[in-house]
Chain A
Amino acid sequence: MVKVLISKPGLDGHDRGAKVVARAFEEAGAEVVYTGLQATPEEIAETAVREKVDVVGVSLLSGAHNTLMPRVIDCVKEKEGMQDTVFILGGIIPQQDIPALLEKGVHGVFGPGTPLDAVTDFAFEQVALVKAEQLAEAALADMTNKSSNI
């Protein structure tokens, strides 16, 4: 089962979208953990590790995304075993900020008006891709090991 962390970093208290997305993931069959408001990037990373989540969803409407989103990504990726985490960002994110956010490691950015299925389907696909890559890498490593044993 895919496990998703929905988080609200920073001081923004508008969490209608975060809650709706959390519920959508649950309805779509994922297990969901919600941080509540004002989660620091460190707290988000700790929860992500503790709960062993596949996806970290961040909701930001306050305009602080350029500061906070990269911090969340760095904090999570620093943790052992979290390098392949899928990051999705939702909220009011101006078009011109999106390329830089993708560059920094966000997999997908979803603005207002996005149907819920589009968010959950995207996240599930990304998780499947990550898992396929991990399997391929493991298989490759396995083969390399075997060949070196010969």
Chain B
Amino acid sequence: MAEERKHTTLSGYELKNVYTAEDLNGEHMKDKLGEPGHYPFTRGIRENMYRDSLWTMGLYSGFASAEEANERFRYLIEQGQTGFSVALDLPTQMGYDSDDAMSDGEVGKVGVAIDSLADVEALFKGIPFEKVRQIRTTANANSIIMLAFYVAFAKKNKIDPNTIGFFLQNDILKEYMCRGAYIFPPAAGVKLSVDVLEYCGKHLPKWTPIAVSGYHIREAGATAAQEIAFTVADMTAYFDAAVARGVDIVSATSNSYFFLGAQMDFLEEVAKFRAARRVFAKIMKERYGVTDEEPQRLKIFAYTNGSAMTAEQPMNNIIRVTIETMAAIAGGIQTLATSSYDEALSLPTQEAVTISLRTQQIVGYESGITETVDPLGGSYAIEALTNRIEKDIWSLLAEIEAKGGAVKCIEEGFQQKLLAANAYKYQKSVDDGARTVVGVNRFKDEQPIECAAFSVSEEVAVKQKAKLAKLKKKRDNDRVQRALNAIKTAAEKNENLGEYMIEAAEAYATLGEICGVLKSVYGKYSPMKIY
């Protein structure tokens, strides 16, 4: 049996029993590694890394109404969380108000419902912004509207928006590829994302205008190299479009992030983060001619992969999250969100989300892993894997480029087909026992799964609809109409929509109203049926 077992990484790389200097092509290693904080940033983007400060700890949270999400945020900040993610419910992500028929059954379920500035006001009420390093959001198709809601909130409360670390996902391409929360067709989607890049570059330099996301690509079935290659390809689609528009690439993107997964294969994941930094730095330098080091530094937000969580024996997920957290930290990331042990069953309970935060704190303050920069650097196995993943990233990038770039490839389903095939292969390997998943295909319990699942009451939708009706009566509806008309005209003229969106937000126009206007100009995207 032992002889037959295949020794491969999660991505399918065959592993040697032992690695030696010969696996590294010795003489080039110095250039490939560089020094911590310097090109090509293999060893991390800062000289002292976590000795200077630990990563930003923030969990995916947000559910139900703005008022309820606000309570959870305040609780987590008291527990030492230094950032948070405003998880949006699906109607909000896809441009429907809570009273739209398409929102039935979905309001407040996988995130918080945000219909207008009024909800943002309730969401941020009493939040001690000085204690928060980063406020992330899952806005992609509607990121420019969320930007407007946040700016309008800051203006109304006389806060300089640049003093709050807002972090927009703003990556629409991965939505067409694998996550599905799109609204408009790809060309319009990219246009709106680039509007955000341009607007932030000019007015909101402290914000993160884009977090190009490999996480969802990985969750859909990507290998480590595909995760990075598809992310980089998407990034160049945005950056190329920005450059073509005359946007200053350094000001528009120097605070941008990659949002990546942290999977279970410890060594492979450490290598992946290191390879990603090397590829990014080279692209910034050679493709975009960026000579300063700061914009060559790839900042990474990692999130432990939810797909590694099992519904069976859910407490085991605490250990899985610990391993993934260690991989992310040894890989040198800047922000980390950790999954909760009950994630395969529902949104997290408060107990589960607290343990998830404690996991980061224990790794950060007790494990000692943070005391040395790039602690695994120089390990033959890690360096060999880093080189291997990097090589595969470049070859995939060349393939995408030859096929006409990320957008064209997505439109033709190139990436989607690869991801679906991998996902199927993985499931088969679990089903036939070639890959062990504890509690699922080995060391199983016979009793049924019992876990205190969290659920969101249907009342949230009722309340949210009532709030919306009241708002529409109370606000200056003429002002709303003028603002919506202005958005329409500007969209037709292909102008940057930032200022118009902020005016509409301040007038308390709703997300659904704004998206309705944009749909009338751009149309709506219909899904692909590839499997």
Contacts and interface: CB of A to CB of B under 8 A. Distances in A.
In order of increasing CB-CB distance, the 8 nearest A-B pairs are A13-B180, A67-B105, A64-B105, A36-B527, A11-B90, A63-B109, A19-B531, A36-B529
Contacts of B307: 16
Contacts of B102: 11
A53 interface: no
Interface stretch (B295-303, B368-376, B448-456, B513-521): B448-456
A49 interface: no
20 contacts: A11-B90, A11-B96, A12-B110, A13-B175, A13-B180, A13-B181, A19-B423, A34-B529, A63-B346, A64-B104, A64-B106, A64-B109, A67-B104, A67-B105, A92-B345, A94-B345, A113-B437, A115-B430, A116-B428, A117-B431
A62 B93 CA distance: 13
Chain B interface size range: 35 or more
A124 B418 CA distance: 28
A35 B531 CA distance: 10
A15 interface: yes
A20 interface: yes
A112 B313 CA distance: 12
B261 to A, nearest CB: 13
Interface string B302-325: 000001001110000000000000
B189 interface: no
A4 to B, nearest CB: 12
Interface in B42-86: none
A14 B109 CA distance: 14
B450 to A, nearest CB: 8
B440 interface: yes
Contacts of B346: 63, 92, 94
Contacts of B512: none
B161 interface: no
Contact of A95 (B104, B220, B221, B449): B449
B408 interface: no
B91 interface: yes
Interface of B: 90-91, 93-94, 96, 102-106, 109-110, 175, 178-181, 219-221, 307, 310-312, 344-347, 419-420, 423-424, 427-428, 430-431, 437, 440-441, 448-450, 453, 455-456, 526-531
B257 to A, nearest CB: 21
B349 to A, nearest CB: 12
A54 B186 CA distance: 35
Given A13-B181, A16-B423, A113-B440, A37 B527 contact: yes
A11 B344 contact: no
Nearest to A13: B180
Contact of A14 (B103, B180, B530): B180
Given A11-B90, A66-B105, A16 B219 contact: yes
A86 interface: no
Given A36-B526, A36-B528, 14 more contacts: A13-B175, A14-B180, A18-B531, A20-B427, A23-B420, A23-B531, A36-B527, A62-B106, A62-B109, A64-B104, A64-B105, A95-B449, A112-B310, A113-B310
B456 A22 contact: no
Chain A interface size range: 35 or more
Contacts of B103: 11
A122 B175 CA distance: 32
Interface string A110-125: 0111011100000000
A90 interface: no
B423 A14 contact: no
A62 B423 contact: no
A101 interface: no
Contacts of A35: 529
A54 to B, nearest CB: 18
Q: By CB atoms of chain B within 10 A, which of A16, A62, A64, A117 has the most?
A: A16
Contacts of B312: 113
Contacts of B311: 92, 111-113
A32 to B, nearest CB: 8
A62 B519 CA distance: 24
Given A19-B420, A62-B109, A95 B448 contact: yes
Interface string A58-93: 000011101110000000000000000000000010
Contacts of A115: 430-431, 441
Nearest to B346: A94
Contacts of A92: 311, 344-346
B68 to A, nearest CB: 15
A24 interface: yes
Given A94-B453, A113-B440, A10 B180 contact: no
Contacts of A113: 310-312, 437, 440
B90 A12 contact: yes
A48 interface: no
Given A10-B105, A94-B453, A15 B344 contact: no
A12 B180 contact: yes
B3 to A, nearest CB: 26
B90 A16 contact: no
B106 A11 contact: yes
Nearest to B307: A16
A94 B346 CA distance: 7
Contacts of B441: 115
A134 interface: no
B427 A63 contact: no
Contacts of B345: 92, 94
A149 to B, nearest CB: 50
B181 A20 contact: no
